[in-house]
Amino acid sequence: MTLPHKVLALHETMTMEVAYDGRPANLFTLINASGMTATFMDIGATWLSCTVPVSGDIAEKREVREVILGCATLADHQAQSAYLGATVGRYANRIANGQFTIEGKTTQVTTNQAGNTLHGGPDGFDKRRWSVISHSDSKLELSIVSEDGDQGFPGRLEAKVTFELTADNTVAISYQANCDQPCPVNLTNHAYFNLAGEASIEDCLQHELMIKADYFVPTSEVGIPTGELKSVEQTGFDFRESKTIGQDLLSDPEQLLAKGYDHAFILSSELANGIQDFAKAVSPDKKVTMTVQTTKPAVQLYTGNFLSGIKGTSGVYGIHQGFCLETEYLPDAPNHPEWPGESILRPNQTYAHYTGYRFTF
């Protein structure tokens, strides 16, 4: 299959400059029989592009629609601070004060947001070159080694991420990791979706969204959990029935603090099996639907509250240009062992989790 023009162009423009290590990025595009593509970069194990063919106004004409946000050049990618499409770690989301205690020992890790640690610290996995294990037309395997003390985290961590584009139009992401000391580990992908199209004048607020979650996590103005797990009942966080993302935007005190949705939703254990859909998003024109499956106990809904001014592939993004569904352990979970999931990886364990984003078009 011939790759769409916009994907071929990305392979050219994204490799014109060198990365921090003096070498250009390497790009890999997965394809399937439906004509869908998913493109990844070894810098940050980043999901750069996802195109789906949708019906145009003329029955015979197909539109190649880019459904995630991204940059056209490495310089633009390195300049943005929104983690566009990156694999983030060691610990996705936030750790309060960059501190946690395991077996009576308190560890201080590097902080990078309001005195807290966000997405692994200032030099997280999103900024590293991952090593290529294998790649084919349908699958890509990347790995990274994080030495003991990296960003202050204990233990030597070896991690692997596998991206696969399946015949049923799922971008399947599998994570695996081992560490020789007890350490918080929480890997996720930070893709921003706009099912109307990356270049669309539509922001994400008119997307229909459903999330099967009865509870969410209230946070402070800098995203640190208050300690409460709150019912979504009679709040703007109730997505159990499909509604537009914008319907109840900024209708809660918790949203006002975050300037929109930037909160974790807790999934029931029966939904965290990697098979059942826990979320469903539909484009405003109803031409693209995305369902999500995961083995993680929670998902962070983020509505791009600070995207304004970021230079993307098609132009400068505005606020709410895209939304994220980041599957994860709960923010600051290392300091809340009573919460769902086991966020501490121990030497005798293997971290193994899965998230699938399935597209219908």
pLDDT by residue (tens digit) across 253-312?
Answer: 999 999 999 999 999 999 999 999 999 999 999 999 999 999 999 999 999 999 999 999
Pairwise CA distance, residues 89 & 12, whole Å? 28
Domain of 112, in residue numbers = 5-360
Give the whole-number percent of the chain exceeding pLDDT 90.
97
63 catalytically annotated: no
Q: What is the mean pLDDT of the chain?
A: 97
- Report pLDDT digits (tens) over 143-177: 999 999 999 999 999 999 999 999 999 999 999 99
Catalytic residue list contains 5: no
Q: Which of 190, 263, 320, 353 is catalytic?
A: 190
113-140 pLDDT, tens digit each? 999 999 999 999 999 999 999 999 999 9
Structure tokens at 150: 């990296």
Q: What is the pLDDT of residue 2?
A: 87
How many domains does one find in the chain?
A: 1
DSSP state of 4: P
Average pLDDT for 43-68: 88
Task: Tell which residue, 296, 305, 298, 299, has the closest CA to residue 323.
Answer: 305
The enclosing domain of 98 has a CATH number of 2.70.98.10
What are the pLDDT digits (tens) for 314-355?
999 999 999 999 999 999 999 999 999 999 999 999 999 999
3-state secondary structure of 256: helix
Burial of residue 24 (CB within 10 Å: 0-12, 13-18, 19+) is: middle
Tell me how crowded residue 275 is: count the other CB atoms within 10 A of its CB.
Answer: 11
CA 319 to chain centre: 18
Round to whole Å and give the CA distance between 308 and 164: 31
Angle at 93 between CA 26 and CA 115, to 5 degrees: 110
Please tell me which residue in 164, 326, 328, 353 is annotated as part of the active site. Answer: 326
Confidence of residue 185 (pLDDT cuts 50, 70, 90): very high
> How many residues are there in the chain?
361
